[in-house]
Amino acid sequence: MHNVLIIGLGQIGMGYDLELDSEAFVLTHARAFGTHSSFQLVGGVDLLQQRCELFGKHYDCYSSTDLVAALRQTAPDIVVIASPTRQHGAVLRAVLEQSKPRLILCEKPLSFEIEEAQSMVAACKAHDCLLFVNYMRRSEPGALEVKRRLLKGLIATPIKGVAWYSKGLFNNGSHFFNLLELWLGSMKEFKIIESGRMWDGLDPEPDVQVIFERGTVNFLAAREECFSHHEIELVAQNGRLRYEQGGGKIVWQAAVADPTVDGYTVLSSAGETIQSEGFRSQWHVTNQLAACLEGQHADVCSGAAALQTLESLVAIRDKL
């Protein structure tokens, strides 16, 4: 069993599912590692004492506002970095200086800057520490089934699509960019449609056309203050895929002969629901990490793959 320390006890660290049914929802690192048989949750760190107390009470384990003390006290095998993005680099360096973890899982994006992200990847390699980034959708069974169908030609390429995101290109948009890299391959080129605004004064929200290896997708920014909107529609040569509710619902509509008009082809009205566990997505990341630690193949985003995503996003940002 691997000992896990979580650094950052905000929403993704602990908060999202604290009051939700534990059978139906696994949306945080705390619940995922706290319920997986391969891991032992040994501690949590946060700058806010109130969060530490809540974590300690709910998960019955060590908590502290002092990172160095927590690392020494718990001697973790696995460290989760769920602090704000601006702190990722400094926290990762402190972790590697003060402890010897076998694996680090960092929240997305690795950084807002390429140079820092590159140094994070290099530091983990130098310390013989595996680095993964929490783009959880690419570990979820429904998303992996879409990937399988694309690679098998069951969803015929080239693709044309639309991806809606809100709350910043780096913060939330990167989830869907990274997922589309999994499905459609690397970005080849892009074109800014509209520069858009800055979310929270830091994260751009452009409308941008991205040409991947196996298709073209227009990323469009919605307004988070109105409502969260995270959906993908892919129009293939033989049907349409709808990835809705942030991945909670996935529907494939095959192209079929029109039942009423000869000579026309339409989308199947019933459609096929692809089984998705979007509301347990964090558990699947944890399960894939367990497989990795046992020497098995793991569908989880590596530091190198996350760096590729970041390089594409920075290229877009630099053209705004």
pLDDT digits (tens, 9 = 90+) for 82-104: 999 999 999 999 999 999 999 99
Say how far apart CA 142 and CA 136 lie, in whole Å. 12
Rounded mean pLDDT, 257-282: 92
Share of the chain above pLDDT 70, in %: 100
Q: Are strands 249-257 and 215-221 parallel, antiparallel or unpaired?
A: unpaired
Rounded mean pLDDT, 194-215: 95
**Are 107 and 12 spatial neighbours (Cβ–Cβ below 8 Å)?**
yes
What pTM was estimated for this model as a whole? Answer: 0.94
pLDDT value, residue 79: 98
Q: What tokens were used for 225?
A: 């203050």
* C-alpha distances out from residue 176 to 74, 198, 230, Å: 35, 18, 8
How long, in residues, is the chain?
A: 320
pLDDT value, residue 275: 94
pLDDT value, residue 216: 98
Mean pLDDT rounded to a whole number for the chain: 96
Q: Which residues are within 8 A (CB) of 153 and not within 5 positions of it... i.e. 6 or more apart?
A: none
Q: What tokens were used for 315?
A: 């290229």
CA-closest candidate to residue 34, choices 10, 63, 64, 14: 14
- Kindly tell me if the per-residue pLDDT of 65 is higher than 90: yes
- Kindly tell me if the per-residue pLDDT of 273 is higher than 90: yes
Amino acid present at 220: L
**Are 76 and 3 spatial neighbours (Cβ–Cβ below 8 Å)?**
yes
Model pLDDT for residues 283-303, shown as the tens digit of each residue: 999 999 999 999 999 999 999
pLDDT band at residue 23 using 50, 70 and 90 as cut-offs: confident
Q: What tokens were used for 203?
A: 């994260």
- Kindly tell me if the per-residue pLDDT of 22 is higher than 90: no
Three-state helix/strand/coil letters over 77-120: CEEEECCCHHHHHHHHHHHHHHCCCCEEEECCCCCCCHHHHHHH
- Distance of alpha carbon 289 from its chain centroid, rounded? 14
Model pLDDT for residues 298-320, shown as the tens digit of each residue: 999 999 999 999 999 999 999 99
Domains of the chain: 2-135+283-302 (3.40.50.720), 141-276 (3.30.360.10)
Phi first, then psi, for residue 44 (nearest 5°) are -140, 150
Say how far apart CA 304 and CA 104 lie, in whole Å. 13
Rounded mean pLDDT, 46-71: 95
Rounded mean pLDDT, 134-161: 97
**Are 168 and 223 spatial neighbours (Cβ–Cβ below 8 Å)?**
no
Share of the chain above pLDDT 90, in %: 94
- Kindly tell me if the per-residue pLDDT of 201 is higher than 90: no
pLDDT value, residue 300: 97
